[in-house]
Amino acid sequence: MPRQSMHIVDAAEKACLVCVENDEASEPFAIAELRALAETAGAEVAAEVHQHRREPDAAYYVGKGKAEEIGDAVRATRADLVIVDTELTPVQQRNLQDVVDTRVIDRTQLILDIFGQRAHTREGKLQVELAQLSYMLPRLMNLYTKFERQQGGIGVRGGAGETKLETDRRKVRQRISDLEEELAEVRSQRQQQRAMRRRLPFPTAALVGYTSAGKSTLLNTLTGADVYADARLFATLDPTTRRVVLPDGWAVLVTDTVGFIRNLPHHLVAAFRATLEEVTQADFLIHVVDAHHPENAIQQEAVLAVLDELGAGHKPIVTVYNKADLVTDQYSLRTRVATTERSCYVSALTADGIPALMDCIVATIQELLFRIVVLIPYDRSELVAQCYECGRVLRADYRDDGIHVTADVIADLASRLRPFQTPRAV
């Protein structure tokens, strides 16, 4: 079967970038992001082609004339490949490739390539391979030459290329099925890990945000951990959970998650389902925004859109405007925080503003607490300690019949304390 390399952009390859936008104002951000993605994958940007267009061309995406212009740019700069800032249909990709006479990849392939480079754990590699094969399956035809795709003679169902194509499709489908089974096991293991964490008396939070917003750096600052942090796009693929101790003695389990991006490929969302469930299962979210980025509002909206897609948009969100030390217009930043619910500004690198973030987290946890009045037997006194650790104990009286406790605790602990509830006021 013709194999498409897991690494589709080789180091030092020259790339011609193609960006088509119907909104002129968003074009600089779009081309800058595409440039960053290409460089992250290892390509050298040799040329950039822009176009304003309301609707994409069904045959070439950019139109025949613009496709020929791209071909001229490729020949002038001796580019090795063309990268288009969208997900192309198989027809568009094939037609554009015929005109420019060089390899054409789209935004989805580029992001999948970066994820392939970043995946180091077994789970990450399985997820990336599944996403790549799911993307490649409807495009297998493009890997064959026109001659191989020709039909056979009279009485022949198809040529050698057609027979080989069907064989390869079956192999890809089988591999996809095998990967889905393996990932189902991974998902089950991750659910067990979450269940074990749920038995701990701590609320849970998921760090979310645009790629390179500083989530891992913030987790390291909050916990003193050594989670891998890098300014490159998608530096973190595998979720990491750490315990964060709050100023009043409470604690919260915080999970760092994969960074989001504008037009996140749906193949990745599907393949990383087990990982992204960390977001959907968290009690609340900590949304890290790069306050220094000139288009951080667009990035923020992109993250919120992905959260809605995951079904997590309704969760309480603490918005953290990171890299505040790099922002020149401090007045606008402070105004933005003042007008955004549950928000603060910090510098994860220097730890400035962390106390304000802690206050936001404490306030959010308080909103999630439930009032309980219970009588706890002395042989279950560990539950009293858990009330102190993951809630606010309003009163605790040690009497002959047990420990009378009135407290505000998280939902999971409240359910475990339900057998000890008492209508008597303390």
Q: If you write DSSP's letter for every residue of 305-362 in order, what string do you get?
A: HHHHHHT-TTS-EEEEEE-GGG-S-HHHHHHHHHTSTTEEE-BTTTTBTHHHHHHHHH
C-alpha torsion sign, points 388, 393, 399, 400:
negative
Which residues make beta-bridge pairs with 20?
Answer: 51
Residue that is written with structure tokens 């050698």 in the block: 160
pLDDT of residue 2: 44
Nearest CA among 220, 251, 252, 253 for reference residue 236: 220
- Strand pairing category for 251-256 and 402-409: unpaired
Which residues make beta-bridge pairs with 205?
Answer: 254, 284
Q: Write 364-368 long-range contacts (CB < 8 A, 24+).
A: 364/284, 364/316, 364/318, 365/203, 365/246, 365/250, 365/252, 365/283, 365/284, 365/410, 366/392, 366/408, 367/316, 368/203, 368/283, 368/284, 368/316, 368/410, 368/411
Tokens of residue 426, six digits: 């303390």
**CATH level 3 topology of 14-118:** Rossmann fold (3.40.50)
pLDDT of residue 411: 81
What is the C-alpha separation between 317 and 333, in angstroms, rounded? 18
The architecture of the domain spanning 200-367 is 3-Layer(aba) Sandwich (3.40)
SS3 content of the chain, % helix, strand, coil (to 5): 50, 20, 30
Residue that is written with structure tokens 């040329």 in the block: 47
Neighbouring residues of 191: CB distance < 8 A, sequence distance ≥ 6: 277
What is the C-alpha separation between 259 and 18, in angstroms, rounded? 24
What one-character DSSP code corresponds to residue 142?
G
SS3 at position 371: strand
Tokens of residue 170, six digits: 């079956």
End-to-end CA distance of the chain: 73
C-alpha torsion sign, points 143, 148, 154, 158:
negative
What is the C-alpha separation between 412 and 351, in angstroms, rounded? 31
pLDDT of residue 155: 41
pLDDT of residue 3: 44
What is the C-alpha separation between 248 and 392, in angstroms, rounded? 9
Q: What value, to the nearest 5°, has the Cα angle with vertex 307 and ends 306 and 312?
A: 155
Per-residue model confidence as pLDDT tens for the chain (426 residues): 444 445 677 767 899 999 988 777 677 888 888 998 999 888 999 999 988 888 889 999 998 999 999 999 999 999 999 999 999 998 999 999 999 999 999 998 998 888 888 777 787 888 888 888 988 888 876 655 444 444 444 444 444 555 777 888 889 999 999 998 988 888 788 777 767 766 666 788 999 999 889 998 999 899 876 655 555 555 555 678 888 988 877 788 898 887 888 877 777 777 777 667 778 889 999 999 999 998 899 899 999 998 998 889 999 999 999 999 999 999 999 999 999 999 999 999 999 999 999 999 999 988 888 899 999 999 999 999 888 877 788 999 999 999 999 998 888 888 889 999 987 544
